[in-house]
Amino acid sequence: MRNACTRLAMTASLLAAGATMAIAQGAGLADPKLQASWAFMQKEMPGVPASLLEEACKEGRVMLYHGTWVQAQDAQVKRFQERFPCVKVEKFTADTGQRQERWLAEIRANRHVADIVQDTDPGFLDAQSATGTLLEYKISNDAAFDEAAKRSGYWYASRVALVGIAWNTDLVSDEEAKKLLRWEGIVDPIWKGRAAVVDPAAGGVAYLPWYVWLKQYGPDFLQKIGDLKPRVIAAIVPASASLASGDIAVLFNASETGLLPLLDRGAPIRWSLPEPGIGPMTGQAIARHAPHPNAAKLFQEYSFTEEGYGIWQKLGGAPARRNFRDQRPVAQEKWYKVPATFAPYDRADASTNLQPVMDAYRKLVARPQ
């Protein structure tokens, strides 16, 4: 009798262990339609529980606040929804300054809309994590990102948004273009009346070069830019479009975000990425009061898997994930060269010095002509 009881107890224990393992492996998912999604998660999101998938599906949607890298984001969202058809992704697209202003205004009004927030100013994301507006959530692929490309548990870098000097090859000769291989070349008098700049008020990738130029070269450098009477354009995308159309010949603070789609469509443009390189990270985080927290976690996880990251990076910018091959076609071009060194900058200092940089820009560059 004792042996029989012992065998029954062992059998019950094994069955319980088996049930636990089955649930852990996804066999306990209430909806069999989720099996394909769960199989993908086991492969690409190590350690993320099946319960996150189930809760995300119950919420059924996620709101993404992102920037003007529309093609990259659309491609990633499309594949996410193929992997996780139970979650609908909604998007709000705007330049950095507009996006920040809207999100913070909603927080102040206690009206929480955004689940996922992206920003080209890591200093802004650092500050928000410190003030409690971002959710602390460590992704399963946290170790794939160096410390410079994340604030662990808060934001992770989708890309390095490289800034360079771009020109229209129909309007700038090869000999003239040689001057644009160095930052100092943009103050050559040859560009007077032919160039444009993006207003640093656009934020993020448009702002950082002004901060670096002022730090590295001083006010005289900005004064020389102002002497060239460059056209001031409000945002990255329209500035790139003006360059491609031949409306301007040179764009001094050009972002690859705006240039790459135009190059892919055959626009007569080239650009250089002078030393030291200038490239802010674009970070992604979960809002502290996300209306759909589980769907947000699922999207955050997917964004930094090999698949999700690769889809975004192919169109969105240079990779920030460790040992990740640059999948963009432009990386194979003979004329294209990524900087070997980058201008050092403190994220917090770049953010706190926004007003002094803007003041210098308005006084020296955007002054009345």
Q: What is the mean pLDDT of each run of 10 residues along the chain (369 residues)?
A: 50 44 53 94 96 98 93 96 98 92 97 96 91 98 93 95 95 97 98 97 90 96 97 95 98 92 95 92 96 98 97 90 90 91 82 93 84
Residue 369: what pLDDT?
53
Structure-token pair, residue 169: 């090859």
CB contact at 8 A, 120 and 253? no
CA dihedral defined by 9, 12, 13, 14, rounded to 10 degrees? 120
Max Cα-Cα span within the chain:
101
**Cα distances (Å, whole numbers) of residue 76 to 82, 85, 89, 303, 316:** 10, 13, 11, 8, 10
Residue 28: what pLDDT?
58
Pairing, β 250-255 against β 269-272: unpaired
Structure-token pair, residue 43: 């492969």
**In order of start, what are the domains of the chain with their CATH numbers?**
32-160+281-316 (3.40.190.10), 163-279+339-364 (3.40.190.10)
DSSP 185: G
Residue 18: what pLDDT?
42
Residue 279 zone, left/alpha/beta (φ > 0; ψ -120 to 50; rest): beta
Residue that has been written with the tokens 């443009």 in this structure: 269
Structure-token pair, residue 215: 């730090």
